[in-house]
Amino acid sequence: MKARNLVLPAFFAALTAVGAWLAVPNPFSPTVPFTLQLLPILLAGNLLGARGAFWSQVVYLALGAVGLPVFAHGTQGLGILFGPTGGYLLGFPLMALVAGLPWGWTFGGLLLKNLLAILTVTATGILGLMAFGAMTLPAAFSVAVIFLPYDLLKGVLAAAVAVAVQRALPALAVRKS
């Protein structure tokens, strides 16, 4: 196994933790803050491919589950995974997997994968808000919709950065030009 296959997923797990610490309270939903977590998750998918990106997020969740303060606002533990934001967090590996699907390595293709990945984590987030936050479907949907413009901006940024990285460092990217 190449060192790259171990180091890069760990790096993106760490970037996801940094993105979680950059949390801004959400006036529309105090239980779900605005964070930068989705940007490194999308980048992991766009640069590492499905497998590496998926494992980067499994590592991230495992670190938080065992007590490292890697979740939003420096929180940690299983209680966070099964709290109001748990659906989003538990959806991160699936989101990364979708962003790393083995097609669409152009800007447009990456953007489409990122959109699908954002919709995936939005769906798991809605389910989590309903299951762990005791919200109705309309209430959970209204909370989730607030994040979509911000998340779509992260999807565009991730696609642009991934294309630039693929050009500048082709050895890093899953697909070589």
Shortest CA distance to 75 belongs to which of 64, 88, 62, 91? Answer: 64
Does 175 map to a domain?
no
Q: What pLDDT does residue 176 have?
A: 42
Does 177 map to a domain?
no
Does 43 map to a domain?
yes
Rounded distance between C-alpha atoms, residue 133 and residue 41, angstroms: 24
Shortest CA distance to 45 belongs to which of 79, 16, 81, 88? Answer: 16
- Tell me which residue range forms the domain holding 149: 4-168
Number of domains the chain is built from: 1
DSSP state of 172: T
Name 24's bridge partners: 34
CATH number of the domain that residue 108 is part of = 1.10.1760.20
Q: What pLDDT does residue 27 have?
A: 84
Does 173 map to a domain?
no
Does 174 map to a domain?
no
- One pLDDT digit (tens) per residue for the chain, 177 residues: 688 888 999 999 999 999 999 988 888 777 788 999 999 999 999 999 999 999 999 999 999 999 999 999 999 999 999 999 999 999 999 999 999 999 999 999 999 999 999 999 999 999 999 999 999 999 999 999 999 999 999 999 999 999 999 999 887 767 543
Does 34 map to a domain?
yes
Residue 24 φ then ψ, to 5°: -120, 130
Does 176 map to a domain?
no
